[in-house]
């Protein structure tokens, strides 16, 4: 996978993850172009489109579009599955996720994505394992925060 974008129906970017090194300018250009193209598609249309030399796989969940770019030889259906898994993970973690959850906890959304995908490849196909890893990392963070709250001393 080359990159993943999440954006709202209004075209606002909510999350971006790039697995290929690109400069900011190029990223912005691609984002703008893709958001426009995807939003222009009618609701009944299929989830795939060819764009430059890549294939775009997108799916809409409520007001959010999840959009992935894959290479020519990659499998579109498994990419749809990845998107769906990620949505399920977000749902489990936040408890029926909505767009606002992702806006206000965008770093958490990234952490979950990073536990699920690494370098553009699925690293863990078990939802349970992903959530376990996230919870434990959160717990670690929470303990530190708890200590800090007690002592409130700068590092």
Task: Give the footprint of other proteins on this chain (CB under 8 A).
Answer: 13-16, 18-19, 21-24, 28, 42, 44-49, 73, 75-78, 80-81, 103-108, 110-111, 114-115, 118-119, 121-126, 129, 133, 135-142, 144-146, 148-149, 152, 154-155
Residue placing its CB nearer to other proteins in the complex, 53 or 149: 149
User: How far apart are alpha carbons 124 and 153 in whole angstroms?
Assistant: 38
State the minimum distance, in angstroms, from the CB of residue 46 to other proteins: 4
Phi, psi of 120 (to 5 degrees): 90, 0
Residue placing its CB nearer to other proteins in the complex, 53 or 107: 107
The three-state secondary structure class of 46 is coil
Residue ranges of alpha helices (H) inside 21-126 are 24-39, 76-94, 99-104, 106-116
Residue placing its CB nearer to other proteins in the complex, 96 or 154: 154
Residue placing its CB nearer to other proteins in the complex, 62 or 95: 95
State the minimum distance, in angstroms, from the CB of residue 62 to other proteins: 18
The three-state secondary structure class of 126 is coil
State the minimum distance, in angstroms, from the CB of residue 36 to other proteins: 15
User: How far apart are alpha carbons 78 and 48 in whole angstroms?
Assistant: 12
43 contacts: CB under 8 Å, gap ≥ 6: 60
Residue placing its CB nearer to other proteins in the complex, 62 or 121: 121
User: How far apart are alpha carbons 92 and 127 in whole angstroms?
Assistant: 9
State the minimum distance, in angstroms, from the CB of residue 129 to other proteins: 7
């Amino acid at each position: 996978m080359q990159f993943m974008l999440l954006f709202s129906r209004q075209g606002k970017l909510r999350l971006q993850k790039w697995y290929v090194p690109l400069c900011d300018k190029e990223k912005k250009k691609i984002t703008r172009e893709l958001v426009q193209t995807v939003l222009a598609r009618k609701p009944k249309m299929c989830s795939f489109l060819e764009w430059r030399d890549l294939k775009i796989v997108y799916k809409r969940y409520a007001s959010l579009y999840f959009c992935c770019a894959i290479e020519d030889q990659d499998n579109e259906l498994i990419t749809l599955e990845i998107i769906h898994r990620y949505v399920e993970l977000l749902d489990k973690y936040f408890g029926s996720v909505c767009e606002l959850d992702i806006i206000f906890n965008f770093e958490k959304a990234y952490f979950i994505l990073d536990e699920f995908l690494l370098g553009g490849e699925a690293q863990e196909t078990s939802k349970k394992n992903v959530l376990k890893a996230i919870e434990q990392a959160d717990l670690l963070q929470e303990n530190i925060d708890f200590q800090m709250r007690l002592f409130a001393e700068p590092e």
